[in-house]
Structure formats: C-alpha cells, structure tokens
Amino acid sequence: MNIKFIFLVLPFVLVNKENAMAMTIGEFIQQAERNDPNYQMIVNENRKKNYVVDEGLPSREFLISVEAEKGVSSEDDDDTETITSSISKDIIETGTSVSVSHTQSLQPDREEDVTEIRLEQDLVKNFLGRDVRLEKTSLKNEVEAIHAESLELYEEYLNEILSEFLDYQQANIDVQLSQEAMNRVERLKSNVLQKFRKKIASQSDVDQASLQVLLRKEDLIEKRRIFQEKKETIAEILGSAENLPQSESLFEKIFTFFSEKKSELPKIENLRSTRALELRRQIADNDLVLAKRDTHASLRFVAGYDIDNSERFSSTVNREETILGLKVELPLWNTTGQAGIKSAANASAESAINLQVNRKDKSTLRRQLLVRLEQQRDQRELNTEKVRLAKRVYQAELKRYNYGKISLTDLMELESNIVNYRLDQQAVEIEYGKSILSWLELNDQLLDFRNSVAGKSLDF
C-alpha cells in the first residue's frame, strides 16, 4: 500500500516542482537584461547622453596660469626674473571672457609690477553667446535623440529575444505533438496486431503500421534535436540553462496585449524613430547655421583696467588706467570654412531626406503589417477548425476501420492529416505572434508590453 502511494504521488510532486521553478515571461526578460551582453551594449549606448552637453560645449572652468622665467647673463651679474600669474574664465552663455593677471619683472634697469583686468565680449560671430546657445540647443537635441534611438534599439532587441522565445516554445510544442502522434500510431499498431492475430488484418497491414511508428519516432528525434538547439539559444540569452520558462504561453500574452492596444495607433510623426530623425534634422540645420557664422569676421569689445606700480630708470610709476577697445579678426581665403559650409548643407539636406523616407517607410510598413496580421489571424482560425474536424473524422473512420469498412492506408492518411494540420496550426500561430511583436515595435508599444509582464518599468 505504501509503495503504491509513492508511485502515484511522486510524478505529481516532480511536475509541480518543475512548474514552480520555471520562470515567467517577465522574469525571462529581466534575466536577459541582467546577463545578455547585447543588452548591456544598448545600455552603454544610452549612457552617452549623460555627458554629451558638457563634452560639446566650451569649458566652464576657471583657468589658472603661472609662468616663471629667469634670465642668466654670461657677461655681468644683471640676471632677470619674471613671474606672471593669471586667472580667467569664459562665460559661455553670454560669449564673455574675463581675466585678471599680475606680472612682476626684475630687469637690470627696471622693476615692473603690473596688474591687468580684462573683459572681452563677442559682438558679431558669437553675439552675446548666440552661437554657444544654439550649440547647446543642438546638444540637448542630441541627448533626446540618443535616448530615443537607444529605446528603439532596445525594442529591436526585445523583439529578437521574444521571437527566439516563440521559436523555443514552438519547438517544445512540436515535440509534444510529435510524441502524441507517435502514441497514436502505436495504439493503431497495437490495434492492427490484434486484428492480425484474429486473421482480420494482413502482414502488409502490420508492416505499414510498424513503418508508420518508425517514421513517427524519426520525426520525434528530429523535433527533439531542434528543441535542444532552441534551448541552447535561450540559455545563451539568459546566461544560464537553469529554470527555463516552460508553461507560460508568450503568444497568449502578446495576443491579449495586442488586442487591448491595437486601437491606440500613434501618428507617424509621433513615433520614436521619427522624433529622433526630426531631432537629427534640427541638429543638422543648426550645424549649417554655425558653419556659416564661423566664416564671419570676429569683432570683440574689450574693456579693462590696468594698475602699474613699477620703477623704471630710477623713476617710480604709479599709474591706473581704464582700457576700452575693439579686437577684429577677418579670415581671408577661408577654403576650409567654405568646405565646412558645403558639408553642413549636404548633411542638412540628407537629414531632411532621411526623415521623409522614414515617414514613408513607416506608413508603408504599417499597412503591410496590418494586412499580414489579418491574413494570419484568419489562417489561424482556419487551421484551428481543420484540426478539430480532422480529429473528429479520424475518430469516426477509426471505428469504420475496426469494422473493416476502410483500409489501413486510408486511416493512416487521416492520421497524417492530423499531424500536419496541428503543425501548420502551431507554425501559423508563431508567425502570427512574431508579426504582433513587429507591430508593437513599429508603434512603440513593445516597451509597454515589457513593463506590463515584468511588473516594473525599464531602468534606462
């Protein structure tokens, strides 16, 4: 009695232990994010946005400079010493430069002690910091573009790993279907053997049934091989072959999510990829403006104050003066600047074309995907009905075979129909699932699906 209890309960315990350990779809995604280097590459790409602005703008630092010189005369003892120290800062938002310097110089005929304060302000090329502010706008657009493009890369990555997971689940179900088919033909073979013993079936019938069993075994071996390959692919994504997800249907989850979201169709211009290209176009336009301005003459207003406490030729100088002036720089034959303008103009035109092409491609892809989804939905429903009818026909014809009203060949053909219809049904369902993933990715909804099954937002 105790032995029977062990054999009855143990399989149930093992099955439930396996299901308890198997991870959910959300856990599958999160473990892939922890262990898959392909995901880490996307994270690193997104991190670039953290330092784009500071890297691209002129430095905000205070610059401290100290210069010391000593001159040694070979003819007399009249050595010289000069020490110059300064501190300066560029105020990039206004195009203003401020500096303070102090020079002490010991010469044979004089001792100099000069303090200079200078303020320089751009008036033309970078009027009141106009160019720097435009560059800062471009860099902020760059930050947004990098983030949007990184999310696009993530959704593409998510589509890939979930498609692999669908293939994994298809391979798993194919093994189960193949096992069911083999069990069915083994029962049929047993039935034929009983008929053979009763002289109702021929040796040819036995051979046909045996051959069908061998064919089903061969198919099962192949299906298991494919399933093992898919398991290895999933294990590589997860970084581990333990606790692979088994029972939870990814198709049902994405189909349910798709059914809820398919009416929420964003406009093409609001798609993440379109927005990123629009930002790139704005950046290119700004670069063209800056390239043109870079060839302009530079005019800077200079204001300052000098304090001179020196001794020159036995005379003491105590002089303070206010400095006002202009600094002009006029580039001539600036071939590099002209080439830069042409290059920036070409980049601006190209970015506008890319944006136009993207909008057209997205619109076309959306229409094509919608048609494909409708076709696959109808085919899925059709295959489901074919499987239902094929099973019913097989059961009815099996009874007729038992009464000798149809041949074994006809019955095995009906059995093959069940197998083929089931495999077709599963294959269409998986392709339907992949099309749904592509639809969600196209419409920026795959990230929402990820958050819904993972139970928390992407930490990006």
Q: Describe the strand order of the beta sheet including 62-71 as a list of residue ranges.
A: 62-71, 80-91, 96-107, 110-122, 298-312, 315-329
The secondary structure of residue 247, as a DSSP letter, is S
pLDDT at 223 > cutoff 50: yes
Rounded average pLDDT over 76-94: 85
The number of helices, as runs of H, and strands, as runs of E, in the chain is 11, 6
Strand locations in 145-252 (E): none
Q: If pLDDT is split at 50, 70 and 90, which confidence band does 6 have?
A: very low
pLDDT at 314: 67
In tens, the pLDDT along 366-390 reads 999 999 999 999 999 999 999 999 9
* Lowest-pLDDT range of 32-41, 145-154, 211-220, 240-249: 240-249
Closest CA to 245 of 17, 25, 438: 25
Mean pLDDT of 247-273: 89
pLDDT more than 90, % of the chain? 62
pLDDT in tens, 322-338: 999 999 988 888 898 89
pTM of the model: 0.82
Q: What is the residue-averaged pLDDT of the chain?
A: 88
User: Radius of gyration of the chain from Cα atoms?
Assistant: 39
- Return the closest-CA partner of residue 172 out of 114, 62, 248, 121: 248
pLDDT exceeds 50 at position 19: no
Tens digits of residue pLDDT in 165-192: 999 999 999 999 999 999 999 998 998 8
3-state helix, strand, coil in the chain (%, to 5): 65, 15, 15
Position 383: which residue type? N
Tokens for 427? Answer: 């294959």
Residue 288 scores a pLDDT above 90: yes
Q: What angle do CA 359, 361, 363 make, to 5 degrees?
A: 70
For the chain, list the domains and their CATH numbers: 25-453 (1.20.1600.10)
Look at residue 198 and tell me whether its pLDDT is greater than 50: yes
Q: Is the pLDDT of residue 247 over 70?
A: no
